[in-house]
Structure 1
Amino acid sequence: MLAFKKLRTVEDIFFSLQEKPFKLIKISQFKSNFKVSADSFRIAVFRSIELKNFLYGKKARSKSISYISFVKQDVDHGSARKAVSNLLNNLFVTAFPNWRCQDPGNIECWGFWSKDDLFVGIRITPHSVRARDYRNGERKASLRPTIAAAMAVLSNPNERDRVIDPMCGSGTLLIERGLLSSYASLQGYDIDPEAVKLAATNISNANLRDANVKSCDSTTLHLETESADILLCNLPFGKVYGNKETNTDLYIRCLQEWGRVVKTGGRAILLTSDTKCFMIAHKHINNYWQITDTFRFKVMGIYANCFVLHKT
Structure 2
Amino acid sequence: MHTFAVARAVHGIEPLVATEIRRSRLGVVRGVRHREVWFEAAPGADLLALRTADDVLLAAAVVDGIGHGRSALRRLALAARSLNAGGLGCPGSGVEVSASFVGRRNYTRFEIEDAVGAELARPLRLPYHSRRDGARPPRDAMSWRVTIEGDRALIALRLADRPLHRRAYKTDSIRGTLHPPVAAAMAALARLGEAGTVLDPCCGAGTTLIEAHALAPGARLLGFDHDPGALRAAAANARAGVGDGAPFGWGLADGGRIPVADASVDRVLVNPPWGRQVPPRGLLARDLGPLWREVRRVLAGDGLAVALVHDGIPRGFAVEEAVRVSLSGQHPVIAVLRKEAGRLRR
TM-score bracket relative to the smaller structure: 0.7 to 0.9
Deviation at 1:219, TM superposition (A): 1.1
Runs of 4+ off more than 4 Å: 75-79, 246-249
Q: Identify, as 1 or 2, the structure richer in helix.
A: 1
Q: Are 2:308 and 1:271 aligned?
A: yes
Question: For 1:78 and 1:297, how far apart are their aligned partners in 2?
Answer: 28
Note the residue ranges of structure 2 that are not aligned, 5 or more in a row. 1-43, 130-136, 341-346
Q: CA RMSD in A?
A: 2.6
Q: 1:139-171 deviations in whole A, cap 9, x for unaligned?
A: 011112111111111111224431000000010
Change in 2 beyond 3 A, CA 1:75/1:33? same
Aligned counterpart, 2:264: 227
Match of 2:165 among 130, 134, 141: 130
Aligned counterpart, 2:247: 210
Aligned to 1:100, the other structure's residue is in SS state: coil
Match of 1:28 among 70, 79, 83: 70
Deviation at 1:106, TM superposition (A): 1.7
Deviation at 1:16, TM superposition (A): 0.9
Deviation at 1:195, TM superposition (A): 0.9
Q: Given the two structures, how large is their TM-score scaled by the length of structure 2?
A: 0.74
Contact map agreement 2:180 2:211 (CA 8 A) in 1: yes
User: What is the one-letter code of the residue matched to 1:213?
Assistant: W
Aligned counterpart, 1:177: 212
Q: Are 2:141 and 1:99 aligned?
A: no
Q: 1:284-310 deviations in whole A, cap 9, x for unaligned?
A: x23xx1111111222234332111112
Aligned counterpart, 2:276: 239
Question: For 1:107 and 1:80, how far apart are their aligned partners in 2?
Answer: 22
Report how many residues are paired: 284
Aligned to 1:298, the other structure's residue is in SS state: coil
Contact map agreement 1:162 1:183 (CA 8 A) in 2: no
Change in 2 beyond 3 A, CA 1:271/1:76? farther
Aligned to 1:299, the other structure's residue is in SS state: coil
User: What is the one-letter code of the residue matched to 2:234?
Assistant: A
Change in 2 beyond 3 A, CA 1:113/1:248? farther
Note the residue ranges of structure 1 that are not aligned, 5 or more in a row. 51-60
Q: Given the two structures, how large is their TM-score scaled by the length of structure 1?
A: 0.82
Deviation at 1:247, TM superposition (A): 7.6
Q: 1:157-211 deviations in whole A, cap 9, x for unaligned?
A: 2244310000000101101111223333000000111111211222222225221
User: What is the one-letter code of the residue matched to 2:296?
Assistant: G
Aligned counterpart, 1:41: 83
Question: For 2:160 and 2:324, how far apart are their aligned partners in 1?
Answer: 25
- Matches for 1:2-151 after TM superposition, within 5 Å: 2-18=45-61, 20-31=62-73, 33-34=75-76, 35-36=78-79, 38=81, 40-42=82-84, 45-49=85-89, 65-75=93-103, 77=105, 79-96=107-124, 98-102=125-129, 103-104=137-138, 106-127=141-162, 129-151=164-186
Question: For 1:199 and 1:148, how far apart are their aligned partners in 2?
Answer: 14
